[in-house]
Amino acid sequence: MAQAPTKGVKYITDNRKARHDYFIHETVEAGIALTGTEVKSLRQGHVNLKDSFCRIDNGEVFLVGMHISPYDQGNRFNHDPLRTRKLLLHKYEILKLLGRIKEKGYTLIPLNLYFKKGRVKVTVALATGKKLYDKRQSLAEKEAKRDMERNMKERY
C-alpha cells in the first residue's frame, strides 16, 4: 500500500513496542485531524504512541489511546491529551483495511508519527499479534546479529 517516508520528512516519534509485539503485514500512510495546540505540542515532541490502536467505526478510522501532552503556552482552549482522533484515508483504503481486519487476528496499530510537507502523518500497520515464543525468537535473532556485527568490527 504505502511506502516508508523518506525525503522531506521530520520524524516525531516511533512506536518501537509495536514491532516487538506484532508481525507487520502492510502499512498505510494516513493524515490525522488535529487541533492547533496538538500540532504545537507535536512540534515539541510531546507524544506517546505506546498503547494506541486504530478502530474503524461507520466507515471512518479513529486513533485511540495516543497521548499528546497539553501545550505549555496553551490556555483554557488546550486539548484533551487522550482524545480519540480521526485518521484521514480514502474510502477504498478504509474498505480494504476493513476487509482484512475481519479476518482472524488482524489489527490496526500506528507505527510512527512524522511531518511531511508541514502536515502530520501517521503510518498505520495491519498486524497480527506475536506469541511469547515469537518474541523470544525475535530477541535471539537480534542478539545473534549484534554479536556477528561486533565480531566483524573486531576483526577489521
Per residue in 128-139, pLDDT tens? 887 877 778 888
Per residue in 38-75, pLDDT tens? 888 888 888 888 889 899 999 899 999 888 888 877 77
H/E stretch holding 27 = strand 22-32
Q: Using CA atoms, how far apart are residues 143 and 4, in angstroms rounded to an integer?
A: 25
C-alpha cell at 26: 502492510
Structural domains in the chain, sorted by start: 9-131 (2.40.280.10)
Q: Is 110 left (phi over 0), alpha (psi -120 to 50) or beta?
A: beta
pTM above 0.85, yes or no: no
Per residue in 102-142, pLDDT tens? 877 788 999 999 999 888 999 999 988 878 777 788 888 88
C-alpha cell at 34: 488535529
